[in-house]
Structure 1
Amino acid sequence: MLDDFMWRAALAGLGVGLAAAPLGCFVVWRRIAYFGDATAHAAILGVALALLWNISIFAGVVSIALLMAISVSLLSGKGYAMDTLLGVMAHSALAIGLVAVSFVAGVRIDLHAYLFGDILAVGKTDLVIIWSGAILVIGLMLWRWQALLTATLNEELAHASHINPRREQLVLTIALAIVVAVALKVVGALLIAALLIIPAATARPFSRTPEQMAVIAAVIAMAATTGGLRAAYTFDTPTGPTIVSLAAAFFVISTLASQGWQRFAS
């Protein structure tokens, strides 16, 4: 089965969707969508450094993502607004990464694949990395779920419950870095944030509990990745953008359906 590139691509999409959706719920609840976008942009610098130092691209991307998150945490509250810091660091990391790539001698680099994804080129080793990362992220989410919810709801309540909000923020940061690293091959650095945010936003109107929202978001994300893959194959369109476009279509349908239901109920 794994000798068929379409099956490999589908399994990769399912793994990324399963990992990104629950994490995306916290991104939506905490209103840190720009943080996810900044981390994804920094992934290109991680790719460049990994190639320059001849190390694993996964390790390079995770390291840079964590470094950015820690830097933002240390610099926040020192005269700069969070969105300003994220904007400066995200675009700087992307630009420096693109420049650094040009200094990699003897290696042909398909920047389009890193920016927009190349799910059809996923190999068996990539599948192992993607699903290992997905299982790790899901494990982190399950382990810290209640603590993450409490810290997201109210920091004072978290302190009263003997929960350290900064520690839970670190857990989210680590999970986000892992998701960015495993999703880079599927949707690319410029579209990772969309796969985090859109399924969670789509699930929100139909969810009564946080757990329900996470499950619905995961289903939507997996449907978008597999459906987008099939549509891209059928219509010969770029796979990463097609996946995100289908997720966006789900969001539009969800919004119209929820508004229609609210009008009917009133």
Structure 2
Amino acid sequence: MSWDLRRSLLLWEAVEEVSLKLAEFVRRACGALGLEPVASVLVSLERVYEDAEYGREICGYYDPAGRRIVVSAPCVAERGFEEGLSTTLAHELIHHCQFTGGGLCELSLNPDLAAKVGGALPYRLRPHEVEAYSKQGELAGRLRELEGFAEAARCVKRLYSPEVVLPQLSSILEALTRAPALQESARFIADLVGGELLPAARRLVEKFSQVIEDESARACFEEKAASYLERMQEDPVSASAEKMQRELLAARVKAIVVNPGAPQLHVYIVTSNGVAVGCDMREGVSPL
């Protein structure tokens, strides 16, 4: 199994385990509220809002076809884990009631009707949204009082911001630069672009050099660029890998994810430039 595939599978296992734990709580809540149980709950590391254009209060959405609630961990973290999670679950459970029936809601929906209303009315004027927003506050309070809610919120919080003592971030990122995936990615780029890689790099150097007004800064840039172009001509794979390493070190960390089900500590660093690398913390910092 390749390093990239193993990393991806382990990251999914961590997210899936938290999703299953949250689904257990939501199903118990459905029973307490007199609702049909949801089919599943999915915790997402993507930043998702149901009301993206209207305040970003609802961190996820309801999928009526799959009877699934999706909860966005980054959005919940912004709003505060307990408030964000309870408000989102309350809003989506009201939608679940509207599609499946129950005493929690007054409206009845089906996917076809929801699509028609969604195409005809702005988001906050749709009847099912008006009802959901009018009732979500009280329902969120009831959810927070249910047994198991605090633990469910902690599970989501541990996934997105783990309650463990990690090494210094600099040492983690330094270790990630040694990950074989960077060299493999650089080789893929070099093979894909082929003979166009060096000319493309030269064009970029010329473009940036023209916009630098300060002469000393331009001279410094051109000196470093010449060295980089020389290395790229001699060994394009290594030169590209070095550039990726620098980009990784300069990236902002978007999330630090801990696999709560792993027998040993597995940590995943997700950065703002799309890099997601696993670390096995048993022997210091070493890429998975």
Q: Which TM-score applies when normalising by structure 2?
A: 0.22
Structure possessing the higher relative contact order (Cα contacts under 8 Å, 6 or more residues apart): 1
Name the structure where helix makes up a greater proportion of residues.
Answer: 1
More strand by percentage: 2
TM-score by length of 1: 0.23
